[in-house]
Structures are given as C-alpha cells and as structure tokens.
Amino acid sequence: MLAMDYRGPKRVRAVQKPMPEIKHPQDAIVKVLRTCICGSDLHLYNGNIPDTRVGSTFGHEFVGEIVEIGSEVTKVKVGDRVIIPFNIACGECHFCRQGMFGNCHESNTEATAVGAIFGYSHTAGGFDGGQAEYARVPYANVGPVIIPADMDLDDAVLLTDVVPTGYQAAEMAGIQTGDTVVVFGAGPIGIMAARCAWLFGAGRVIIIDKEEYRLDFARNYSYCEAYNFEEIGDPVMFIKKITDWMGADCVIDAVGAEAAGNALQTITGRKLLLQAGSATALHWAINSVKKGGVVSIVGVYGPTDNLVPIGNAMNKGLTIRGNQTSVKRLLPRLIDHVQNGVLNPKGLITHRMPLEEVADGYRMFANKLDNCIKTVLMPPTANQ
Amino acid sequence: MKDNKINTPIDPKSIKGWGVDADPKNDPTYPMRDRMNVAEDPNSKHRPDNLQPVNEELLKSIERPKVSAVFGTPEPPSGLSGMIRRQAFKYSENEYKHWLPLILADRVNVMEGIVADMAHGKLPNIWAEKGYDMEWKYNRTAFITKMATIGAVTAGLVVWLSSGSKKKKKGKNKSADRDYLSRF
C-alpha cells in the first residue's frame, strides 16, 4: 500500500509499505478515504518530538471504511464508514471512564505523560498513522464513530481533530456569557477555537497571528476581530489596552511549539531545541489574561521544559488548563452542530492533494505557501 | 499602536449558534469537572481483557509496571540509534537522560536511513522529499535568495577551513624544515 514515510527533519515521501495487520482482537483495518496534515504534524516534520523514528507514517486525522475486523469487534462492521478520533483509547481504564479519552492508560507503553495518538512518534505510542491507503485502528469498539449518511467526508475528516480540539479549547477556557476571549494562533485549530468560543456565549472574540491571509480568513470564518502581532507592537500591551487595561477573561494558546514572535524563544526553542519548542504564545497568554482568568492550552509542546512566566501565573491567580482532546466524548454534540449548520468544518479546507505529493503538501503547509489553511490528502483508495 | 480598521464590531447574538452551549456550571470545566480520584474508583486497576502479544522488541517507560494492552509496532529499535534508545529507556520521563538521548537517536536514525537507502541502491531525492517544488512555484525569489545565502556561507566556510588547514600544513612544514636544519 502507498504510505507517507518520514526520512528526517523536513524530509518525507510516499512509498509502498506492507499492509497493516490485526494485532489484537479489538483491532480493525480501515481503508483511508480522506486524511489531513495537521499543525501538530509540523512538530514531527521539523524533528522536534523525541523518538520520531525514520520510516514512521504520520497522520492522525483520517476517516475511512472498515475492511477487516478482529474477533472481538462488535460495534462496527466491514463496510462501515467511520470517523477515527485521533487518540487511541481503551474506554475501560481509570482515565477513559472519566471521559478522558485523550489520556488512556492502556494504549501507550512508551510514555505515561501522553496517551496514544495515531502517527505521532513512539513517544505517543508508536502507531502508524492514516496518511496511507490503509491503517490499523486499535480498540475499534471504542474509537470509531459511524459517519452519518448525509455527512460530507470533508466535514467528517475534520471531526477527527480540528473541530473537537477547537471546541475543547473553548470549553476548557470556561467561557461565561459576555466574556472576552483571545486566541493566539490563526491556524485551523485557532480559527475553529475562535468560532466555537461564540457557542459558549462569548461577548468578544479576538485572534492574534502574523499571517495576514490567515487573519482575513479568521475574520470571515470565525466572525472575530483579528490582529497582526507584527503591526500592533507588544501584543500583551495591545490586549490590555483594548480590554480597559484589565486583560482578557480567557486566553487560548492554539499555537504550541512552532510559535514565532520572540527571538529568544525561537532560537532556544525551535533552533537549538534547548526548550520543548518556542513558548511565545503561552508566554503572551499568561501575561495578557486578566487576574483570576483562565488560560486554555491546546498548542502542542514537547515533553521537556519551556520558559514561561509561571510566577505571573501564580501572582495573578490564574487557572491553566490543557489537554489532548477527548474526541470521543465530544463527537455526538459536534456531529449535531455540523448537521444543524452551526459549524461548517469543510469551509477550512483550502487545498486538496494526492497522497503521492505528500512532501509538497507538508512544505506548503509548513511554510504557509499559496495561502494554505488546511490540506486534505487523497489516497488512491479514496477513489475506489 | 495601530488599530486595525477592518475589524468591525459584530452583535454576537447574530452569529448562528451563539450561546447554544453556554453553561454557567461549566466552571470548573473539563477535565476537572468529571474528576474522580483513584480511591473513588472501585475498579481503578481494571485492564482490557485481551493483551496484544509482545512479539517484537518494545521499549517500555519505566514509569509504568506493565506493557499497555495495545501498542504500536512499526520501526523497532535497531542499529546505533536503537542502542541509544534502549539506554534512554533506562531512565524515567522525568529525566533529561531519557529525552535528550532520544533526540540524539532520532538524528543518528536519519543518517542510518540515508545509509539504508543507499544500501538498497536508492539515492534519496532530497529535492522531492523536501517539497522544494512548492517553494519554486509559490515562493521562488525568497527560495533562491535562501539557497544562494546557504551556498555562499557554505562556500565561504569551505574556503576558510581549507585555507586554515593549508596554513597549518605550511607551518608544520616550516617547523619540520627547522628540525631538519637543526640537525646540522
């Protein structure tokens, strides 16, 4: 089968690989119909996540058709078209039973600080991902959700990560009616977080980034104010000024390790890897939220350390929440929102490429070429 | 400080879906809201019935007693990078001795990948693997400038290093000459 193949920082290709096999009675094999490149894939692509082995296949955003099931799979059958949540969850452990499907304790042998994620290094369990024609899906009784008959596959594939992560970012921010919400990062997750902030009754939503085309996109898609941090000066001062010098009620970090905007953070975090990525957005979030406010983190950082003003977080009495998204928990509600027209996930898609051109897709997304917001990769199997 | 004039105020209530999920009780919110401590969980040690058999080398975090019920299987540790990874997994996730060797192993693994490609008679197509066609198509001027800069810096370094080694050689020869003469 054709699959993406990681060769080293900023080097990927599409090659033929062996078909995945059933390894556990609750496994299923899916034929991939749509798969996306995610902003968090860029941390792997750039070589910033430890234990990313050459030969790995990335891809945690994919939908597909079940083609084979293990002996204990009862909730889905061959031929079902399914949404595959990006995290792998057993549904039975102490954490899954609290709805923390992103923190499953029975799917990742190689690290305890993170649950298992498809195609996201051995630190996240060592599973091959969905940027391929076929993929192994463990715990098929738990994760996969059948795609409603009337749902577009382009909407469905964005329900694997982008929509739930944007939604959970807003949920974790504890938004109350009338709150001012600031989102750092106008990538697909940030744009979706800004859109979802309104669902919780936000009174004002502001997004900050440096890519003008993304800010324009966010204004139209998320109905929010959008500002370029290269034009507004110190973004923390700017937010203080436009919030009567109080700070925002809630701030969302939707950037993570690849943040720009601070030379020290960029050099130590992204170039020298002395930190687990550049923590510029989180730094700004802590400093721009009001006293007693909430910082919600969905941007991905590596497992070591970051330079952030934790003293300010304490002195301001902040609540800081973060997590990998509990996709499975959120899917029923989000499917309703898509079917009712409240959310329009496929409106984020700007590019569609064949899987064979995966290297071009990564380069385009990583370097924000051709006004790229979201790229869908089409495996050859998608047309069969 | 410049105000962005194209940001026009909007009445939130005019946005489809505004407030549909508003919940004054969403505080504390997920994941704290459904918090259950281990003592409250009558079955905190419950595990799935079936465990994936371990048929290949699997590195296990020492912060957990057992292998998880399922795990990924591709790319088991091998070669020099594998040796480094095995060493790293002797330490907990709390230690740099765990993470920094893993990053080193990843870099070693890249070289191993190139060697493996060549051993199979395949020269990696770096241009294609890096997706440079996209830079050429959408970002040509900046791309050419970047490549020219890298080329110039590399050439400068090569010239500088080679002139340094020539001088060293020359100096070495001079002292050798002196030694030769001193013998007479």
- From A307, A322, A337, give the residue that closes a domain: A322
Q: What value, to the nearest 5°, has the Cα angle with vertex A210 and ends A209 and A213?
A: 95
> Within this chain, do residues A151 and A232 fall inside the same structural domain, yes or no?
no
Q: In this predicted structure, which of A128-137, B133-142, B158-167 has the lowest mean pLDDT?
A: B158-167
Which residue from A326, A377, A2 is spatially nearest to A165, judged by alpha carbons? A326
**CATH code assigned at A69:** 3.90.180.10
- From A322, A343, A367, give the residue that closes a domain: A322
| Whether A172 and B52 lie within 8 Å, measured CB to CB | no
- Rounded CA separation A378/A255 (Å): 26
| Whether B1 and A237 lie within 8 Å, measured CB to CB | yes
Q: Which residue of A29, A45, A51 is the best one to mutate when testing the B interface, meaning the one whose CB has the most B CBs within 10 A?
A: A51
> Within this chain, do residues A231 and A307 fall inside the same structural domain, yes or no?
yes
Which residue from A122, A116, A138 is spatially nearest to A56, judged by alpha carbons? A122
pLDDT of residue A211: 95
pLDDT of residue B184: 42
> Within this chain, do residues A309 and A369 fall inside the same structural domain, yes or no?
no
In what helix (H) or strand (E) does residue A239 lie, and over which residues does it extend? helix A235-242
Task: Give the residue on B whose Cα is nearest the Cα of A45.
Answer: B130
**pLDDT tens figures, A89-128:** 999 999 999 889 999 999 999 999 899 999 999 999 999 9
Chain A to chain B Cβ contacts (< 8 Å): 264
In this complex, is the C-beta atom of B23 within 8 Å of any C-beta atom belonging to chain A?
yes
> Within this chain, do residues A123 and A37 fall inside the same structural domain, yes or no?
yes
Task: Give the residue on A whose Cα is nearest the Cα of B52.
Answer: A24
**CATH code assigned at A193:** 3.40.50.720
pLDDT of residue A2: 97
Residues of A in contact with B38 (CB under 8 A): 94
> Within this chain, do residues A48 and A108 fall inside the same structural domain, yes or no?
yes
pLDDT of residue B178: 52
Residues B96-135 as b or e (16 or more Cβ within 10 Å = b): eebbebbbbbbebbbebbbeeeeeeeeeeeeebbbbbebb
In this complex, is the C-beta atom of B42 within 8 Å of any C-beta atom belonging to chain A?
no
**In 10 A of CB B161, how many CB atoms?**
10
> Within this chain, do residues A263 and A301 fall inside the same structural domain, yes or no?
yes
pLDDT of residue A30: 98
**Surface of B (66-85) touching A: CB under 8 A:** 67-75, 81, 85
pLDDT of residue A309: 94
- From A274, A306, A322, give the residue that closes a domain: A322
- Rounded CA separation A145/A129 (Å): 18
> Within this chain, do residues A284 and A197 fall inside the same structural domain, yes or no?
yes
**A81 φ, ψ to 5°?**
-95, 125
> Within this chain, do residues A304 and A366 fall inside the same structural domain, yes or no?
no
Q: How far is B177 from chain A (nearest CA, A)?
A: 45
**Surface of B (109-148) touching A: CB under 8 A:** 109-110, 112-114, 124-126, 128-135, 137-139
- Rounded CA separation A195/B2 (Å): 25
- Tell me the sheet residues that pair with A208: A184, A227
pLDDT of residue A374: 96
| Whether B128 and A24 lie within 8 Å, measured CB to CB | no
Q: In this predicted structure, which of A3-12, B26-35, B157-166 has the lowest mean pLDDT?
A: B26-35
| Whether B131 and A360 lie within 8 Å, measured CB to CB | yes
Confidence of residue B2 (pLDDT cuts 50, 70, 90): very low
For every one of its 384 residues, what pLDDT tens digit does chain A have, with 9 covering 90 and above? 999 999 999 999 999 999 999 999 999 999 999 999 999 999 999 998 999 999 999 999 999 999 999 999 999 999 999 999 999 999 999 999 988 999 999 999 999 989 999 999 999 999 999 999 999 999 999 999 999 999 999 999 999 999 999 999 999 999 999 999 999 999 999 999 999 999 999 999 999 999 999 999 999 999 999 999 999 999 999 999 999 999 999 999 999 988 999 999 999 998 888 898 899 999 999 999 999 999 999 999 988 889 999 999 999 999 999 999 999 999 999 999 999 999 999 999 999 999 999 999 999 999 999 999 999 999 998 876
> Within this chain, do residues A242 and A189 fall inside the same structural domain, yes or no?
yes
Residues A104-132 as b or e (16 or more Cβ within 10 Å = b): bbbbbbbbbebbbbbbbbbbbbbbbbbbb
pLDDT of residue B172: 59
pLDDT of residue B183: 43
Distances (CA, A) of A44 to A39, B10, B36, B87, B167: 10, 38, 33, 22, 43
Number of domains forming the structure of chain A: 2
Nearest CB neighbour to B34, from listed A99, A105, A321: A99
Residues of A in contact with B10 (CB under 8 A): 223
> Within this chain, do residues A254 and A336 fall inside the same structural domain, yes or no?
no
| Whether B72 and A116 lie within 8 Å, measured CB to CB | yes
The ipTM (two decimal places) reads 0.85
Confidence of residue B27 (pLDDT cuts 50, 70, 90): low
Residues A163-199 as b or e (16 or more Cβ within 10 Å = b): bbbbbbbbbbbbbbeebbbbbbbbbbbbbbbbbbbbb
Phi/psi-derived region of residue A16, left when phi > 0, alpha when psi is between -120 and 50, beta in every other case: beta
Nearest CB neighbour to A177, from listed B22, B36, B81: B22
Q: How far apart are the first and last CA of chain A?
A: 14
Domain residue limits at A10: 2-161+326-383
> Within this chain, do residues A120 and A266 fall inside the same structural domain, yes or no?
no
Nearest CB neighbour to B106, from listed A47, A106, A304: A47
Assess whether pLDDT exceeds 80 at residue B165.
Answer: no
Nearest CB neighbour to B17, from listed A26, A128, A337: A337
pLDDT of residue A381: 85
> Within this chain, do residues A188 and A233 fall inside the same structural domain, yes or no?
yes
In terms of Cβ atoms closer than 10 Å to its own Cβ (0-12, 13-18, 19+), residue B36 is middle
Answer for the pair A169, A252: CB distance below 8 angstroms, yes or no: yes
pLDDT of residue B181: 46
| Whether B26 and A360 lie within 8 Å, measured CB to CB | no
